[in-house]
Amino acid sequence: MFSVNELQGALLKAGRGAGLPLGLAEDLAFCAPDIAIADTNGILAEVVACMNCPFDPATADLSGQGVVMGQGNLLLTMPSALDLVAAGNGPVILDGVSKDLANALIAGRERIDGKALWFDWIGPTKVILHGWKSEAFAPPSQPERVSVDPIHWSALQAFAANTYVPESEESRLAGAGAGLTDND
Amino acid sequence: MTLTLRDPNEVMRLKRLGSTFPTRLSFQRVLLRRLAAEGSVVSRPVWEISDEGFGRAVYSVDLGGYTYSLVAFSNPLDPENRTDRVIANAWDTTYVLFDGTPTTADLDRLQQNAPKQEAGRFEPTEIVLCRANKSVRLFAHVVDALKAGKQPDPALITSTGYLMRTTAVYGNGKFGIADRKRIADRPGMGGPFMAEMLAVWLVRGFTHDLAEHMGGAKMSRELKKRLGIGNSTGLGMAPFLVSHPVLLHHWFETREIALARVVGIGQLSNEQAQRYADLCIRAQKHLQQWHVPDPIHQTRNEAVATGWTELTQSWTAETWSAPNATLNFLEASRRFNEDIQELAVSLLLEPMGDLIDDLAANLASDTPLSLDAAMDVSDLKAIIEARAAWALDTDFNAAAETAQFWYVSQSKLEPRLGNRAEEDGAELESPLDIARRIKDLYADLQGTSGSVAGFLMRHPEHRFVLRRVQTLGANAYSELRDNLISDRCMPIDMLRAKLAFFGASKFDPKSDRWTRINLCQGAPLFDELENADDWWLPVFEERA
């Protein structure tokens, strides 16, 4: 069992280590409380799958009424879709997406922005984001513990390890700026 | 009345941050005032410590309607394993701040985990995890003196200032302990680092009790008050200031509002004027008692003492009684360097609790960084131009401006600072290069139009810094306004600012990225909370 902050830190570091742009890794980490109160391990399986896919910038077709997001990595397309809705470009349609991960990403954004999104699932993998509601929004409270499958935790840690620098004896001695014993 | 705050371009520079002094709004002061206001009483329900000083103890205190307990463990430690670095894996003492009153089963469980620190696992009932090592020479001296029926040497106690040094104090979910969310809305725990400050104050009391227990006699109250709790801090503390921009803004803006209130006073009372004059002298004595082994920093301390004398020698009670004295004092300090100026700020706040203590409620912020996707990119550019010239004016093609890089070491996930030209790993650097990122963002904004949403879809790599720029637009003190990867960046400046906000004094730098400090020196003992708030820059007589 982990604290929510541990999950949040793991998502942020794993995102960075996987190559997700830092600001989007932050968006993912913001969702930790919402991942914790949902189907945690199902969502983390989707997260890990996304982290193994390319992080090409999201695309969108703005030629018709509303916006249709291009197929792509949900860790990029959903934040971009939510941005477009916030900027008044809605409704925005995403198709071929994982419902649980999409819902968690939406919930995380709602939590940060303090307002609720008006959206509808029109199929198992297709969602329409209509716009942001104006009334006050109270996010669900976060749990104190979150149970994470060791397989997913290890996968997140493996991505995170891509950001760590192997140490040399020189860096061990000098990098932190202190001596190694303090018997004074 | 409109308050004019000091310019963030002046306040948020590293060199000035490296001159920060504790104030009455420092977190340890805020906590102890709260405990005093509530009439809190510390009890010691468990004391299972051997004659050799090993075993466990529990201290409990009520705050805001909740009971918190420090669980302390003291274990033997081979001298070769005694290091303040995070790479350590054993300590003289380890601690948990427990939510409530621990059962024997809780104590047994914690006894298996707390001594392991980062390698242990913890429950949501645990709020803070920390450890402390003995200051070997002073601890042994105190115990030996007490065993011999004497009091310890006051000069040695004053010069060292603590029996133990904490080397890490963890909160907010680390290693399975409670998320901050558990306590953030509780009375007395909402302010920044309140749980950590409570733990540290209780640890200080434990170190006194442990030495007295081993020595078989009591220290004088006056000597015990001289003994704060040390802390040894390295780079791990520095990234926090970068990763919490809204919180940083609240800390500094609150202090600056307090200063503006104080310098806005037209006329001090006679009592206030006398108090200011007395505190000028106290600060002078404190500076004279602040000795550090490093010759460069000792020279700096002596220069501060000299400058302070020059500034304050004419500031008698009569001077302080003149109209606009507080404003004039602040202006007078501007003839001196940042050390003197920031000490002047700290002094100006000290006697004015009635005017500024309410501001402590503004020090906390759990507000996350939101993104305004509807903002027009022209407005974003305007924020950068208005508030980030410090970034735009930097030439990142110059080697000196990218000479260093921050990174996390693989072995113990320890933050470190490397030399880009000489060390491997720069491609994995941690995102503390805020100035460079702002400048890169600004360059890519040229020739663009429309909303931030569209820009970010094309440039997801700027999402992190764009959110910070928007935050900077609404929170002027949210960024350290310097290039943190230049060859001029000295992390010690960041450490000092953060530690001073905690309430630390007697900074004792060991390098440009490592310092020891003293917390709670002169602070009330457990049974002195009724007189809890007059220990700013404490001074001590040579003989107790």
pLDDT tens-place string over residues B471-495: 999 999 999 999 999 999 999 999 9
Contact A165 B407 (CB under 8 A): yes
Which pLDDT belongs to residue B543? Answer: 67
Contact B460 A80 (CB under 8 A): yes
Which pLDDT belongs to residue A176? Answer: 66
Contact B514 A178 (CB under 8 A): yes
pLDDT above 80: residue B1:
no
What are B501-532's pLDDT values in tens digits? 999 999 999 989 999 999 999 999 999 998 77
Q: Which residue of A has its CA nearest to B515?
A: A178
- Summarize the confidence of residues B110-123 as an average pLDDT: 96
Which pLDDT belongs to residue B531? Answer: 79
What are B234-285's pLDDT values in tens digits? 888 899 999 999 999 999 999 999 999 999 999 999 999 999 999 999 999 9
- A176 located within any domain: no
What are A6-56's pLDDT values in tens digits? 999 999 999 999 999 999 999 999 999 999 999 999 999 999 999 999 999
Contact A167 B174 (CB under 8 A): no
Contact B457 A2 (CB under 8 A): no
B204 token code pair: 């200080």
CA distance A167 to A170: 8
DSSP B39-77: T--EEEEEEEE-TTS-EEEEEEEEETTEEEEEEEEE---
CA distance B399 to B435: 15
A residues 155-174 near B, CB within 8 Å? 161-168, 170-172
Average pLDDT in chain B: 96
Angle among Cα A147, B70, B116 to the nearest 5 degrees reads 55
Q: Which of B113, B24, B35, B38 is nearest to B71 (CA)?
A: B113
Can you name the residues that pair with B98 across neighbouring β-strands? Answer: B69, B126
- A170 located within any domain: no
CA distance A110 to A105: 9
- Summarize the confidence of residues B275-300 as an average pLDDT: 95
Cβ neighbours for B247, distance < 8 A, ≥ 6 positions apart: B192, B364, B365
pLDDT above 70: residue B544:
no
Q: Which residue has the tokens 């509808």?
A: A120
Q: Which of A98-107, A175-184, B444-453 shows the lowest per-residue confidence on average (mean pLDDT)?
A: A175-184
Contact B460 A76 (CB under 8 A): yes
CB atoms closer than 10 angstroms to residue B256: 20
Cβ neighbours for A115, distance < 8 A, ≥ 6 positions apart: A132, A133, A134, A135, A136, A137
Contact B491 A177 (CB under 8 A): yes
Domains in chain B: boundaries: 27-134+168-219
Q: Does A144 touch chain B (CB under 8 A)?
A: yes
* pLDDT above 90 coverage of chain B, percent: 92
B221 burial via Cβ count (<10 Å: 0-12, 13-18, 19+)? exposed
The CA distances from residue B463 to B375, B443, B458, B467, B471, in Å, are 13, 14, 10, 6, 12
Which carries the bigger pLDDT value, residue A167 or residue B319? B319
Contact list, B434 vs chain A (CB under 8 Å): none
Q: Which of A87-91, A132-136, B380-384 shows the lowest per-residue confidence on average (mean pLDDT)?
A: A132-136
User: Please, are residues B68 and B99 in contact by the beta-carbon 8 Å criterion?
Assistant: yes
What are B352-391's pLDDT values in tens digits? 999 999 999 999 998 888 999 999 999 999 999 999 999 9
- ipTM for the predicted complex comes to 0.96
CA distance B325 to B269: 11
User: Please, are residues B189 and B361 in contact by the beta-carbon 8 Å criterion?
Assistant: no
The amino acid occupying position B180 is R
The CA distances from residue B295 to B300, B301, B511, in Å, are 8, 10, 12
CB atoms closer than 10 angstroms to residue B531: 9
- A30 located within any domain: yes
- The confidence band for B175, taking pLDDT boundaries of 50, 70 and 90, is very high
- Summarize the confidence of residues A156-169 as an average pLDDT: 92
Which pLDDT belongs to residue B366? Answer: 83
Q: Count of domains in chain A?
A: 1
Contact B136 A183 (CB under 8 A): yes
Which pLDDT belongs to residue A149? Answer: 98
Which pLDDT belongs to residue B153? Answer: 96
Q: Which residue of B has its CA nearest to A31?
A: B368
Can you name the residues that pair with B283 across neighbouring β-strands? Answer: none
Domain that holds residue A60: 4-162
Helix (H) or strand (E) holding A3: none
Pairing label, strands B93-99, B505-511: unpaired
pLDDT above 70: residue A180:
no
- Summarize the confidence of residues B204-213 as an average pLDDT: 98
Contact B458 A57 (CB under 8 A): yes
Q: Which of A65-74, B15-24, B186-195 shows the lowest per-residue confidence on average (mean pLDDT)?
A: A65-74
- A83 located within any domain: yes
pLDDT above 80: residue A64:
no
Mutate which: A164, A169, A170, A173, vs B, most B CBs within 10 A: A164
User: Please, are residues A93 and A69 in contact by the beta-carbon 8 Å criterion?
Assistant: yes
Contact list, A139 vs chain B (CB under 8 Å): none
Which pLDDT belongs to residue B237? Answer: 87
* pLDDT above 90 coverage of chain A, percent: 79
- A181 located within any domain: no
Contact list, A163 vs chain B (CB under 8 Å): 408, 428, 430
The half-sphere exposure of A2 on its side-chain side, counting CA atoms within 13 A, is: 21
Cα B175 to the chain's mean position, in Å? Answer: 22
B264 burial via Cβ count (<10 Å: 0-12, 13-18, 19+)? middle
pLDDT above 70: residue B102:
yes
- Out of A26, A145, A178, whose CB is closest to B85? A178
Eight-class DSSP state of B462: G
Which pLDDT belongs to residue B541? Answer: 83
CA distance B281 to B309: 9
- Out of B410, B431, B453, whose CB is closest to A167? B410
